């Protein structure tokens, strides 16, 4: 079973408790922890870039040459073939020296004669999705040069717990239940569970017509 340290902290205060200390105490008190590793560790070297300009490649119709601000001086010249990259976007940039999933190391290169000093990445290239249709466009409020993992609050640790250790404890088969166990181990309060739903306001009409009088009740939920 995989547990997110960050998600767990939503249910119990983990201030002063490192992921390593948490894993050790779970092993000693409750169930064997088989692994502990940072979530998307490779993302620490992928930064937010702001596309200042995109012009057509002089020798390739399907490529573009981008000037990208990565927050540390002169913009980077990056050749990119994604159809959706455009000036004004914030994007995920793997700079020279970054190693991506599949042991793919980013190096300075020449693409059809134009130097390229990095790579504008799609979610698939970062191991975060399946789509290869275009680059990953980040929110507009992300600051150039910030690690993408920090900008999108992706910093986390994943705790792997041996399933066989928990077969007799179905109350621990999720983050909320395990948080109660952690609260008991470290003598901390379990945070209240917020079950409130946001107000939808007027919203769109959701007409329901009950045609059979034998149906005593019918419920509908509009998902926006």
Residue-wise pLDDT for 46-70, tens only, equals: 999 999 999 999 898 889 999 999 9
Check residue 160 and give its pLDDT: 96
Pair 108, 117: CB distance under 8 Å: yes
Check residue 200 and give its pLDDT: 66
More confident residue, 132 or 70: 70
**pLDDT band for position 29 (50/70/90)?**
very high
Check residue 133 and give its pLDDT: 74
Counting every residue written for the chain, the total comes to: 224
Question: Can you tell me the mean pLDDT for 15-28?
Answer: 96
Q: Which CATH architecture has domain 2-41+154-185?
A: 2-Layer Sandwich (3.30)
Percentage with pLDDT > 90 across the chain: 64
Question: Can you tell me the mean pLDDT for 174-201?
Answer: 90
Integer distance in angstroms from the first to the last C-alpha of the chain?
Answer: 32
Check residue 132 and give its pLDDT: 64
8-17, 87-96, 103-112, 128-137, range with the lowest pLDDT: 128-137
**pLDDT band for position 203 (50/70/90)?**
low
d(CA 117, CA 107): 7
Bridge partners for 164 per DSSP: none
**pLDDT band for position 42 (50/70/90)?**
confident
d(CA 135, CA 122): 4
Check residue 199 and give its pLDDT: 76
Structure tokens at 214: 């034998």
For 42-145, which CATH superfamily applies? Answer: Nucleic acid-binding proteins (2.40.50.140)
Structure tokens at 58: 């002089």
25-34, 102-111, 195-204, range with the lowest pLDDT: 195-204
State the span(s) of the chain assigned CATH 2.40.50.140: 42-145
Helix (H) or strand (E) holding 160: strand 157-161
What value does the mean pLDDT of the chain take? 90
More confident residue, 208 or 173: 173
Check residue 175 and give its pLDDT: 96
65-79, 85-99, 150-164, 195-209, range with the lowest pLDDT: 195-209
Bridge partners for 147 per DSSP: 47
């Amino acid at each position: 079973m995989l547990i997110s340290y960050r998600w767990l902290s939503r249910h119990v205060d983990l201030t002063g408790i490192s992921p390593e200390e948490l894993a050790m105490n779970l092993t000693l008190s409750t169930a064997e922890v088989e692994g502990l590793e940072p979530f998307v560790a490779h993302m620490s070297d992928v930064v937010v870039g702001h596309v200042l300009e995109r012009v057509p490649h002089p020798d390739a119709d399907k490529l573009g040459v981008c000037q990208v601000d990565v927050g540390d001086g002169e913009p980077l010249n990056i050749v990119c073939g994604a159809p959706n990259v455009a000036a004004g976007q914030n994007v995920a940039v793997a700079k020279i020296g970054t190693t991506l999933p599949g042991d793919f190391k980013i190096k300075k290169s020449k693409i059809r004669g134009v130097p390229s000093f990095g790579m504008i990445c799609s979610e698939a290239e970062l191991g975060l999705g399946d789509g290869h249709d275009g680059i990953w466009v980040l929110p507009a409020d992300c600051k150039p040069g910030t690690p993408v993992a920090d900008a999108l609050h992706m910093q986390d640790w994943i705790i792997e717990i041996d399933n066989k250790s928990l077969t007799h404890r179905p109350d621990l088969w999720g983050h909320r239940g395990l948080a109660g166990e952690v609260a008991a181990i470290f003598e901390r309060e379990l945070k209240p569970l917020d079950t409130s739903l946001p107000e939808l306001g007027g919203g769109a009409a959701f007409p329901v017509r009950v045609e059979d009088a034998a149906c005593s009740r019918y419920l509908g939920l509009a998902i926006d």
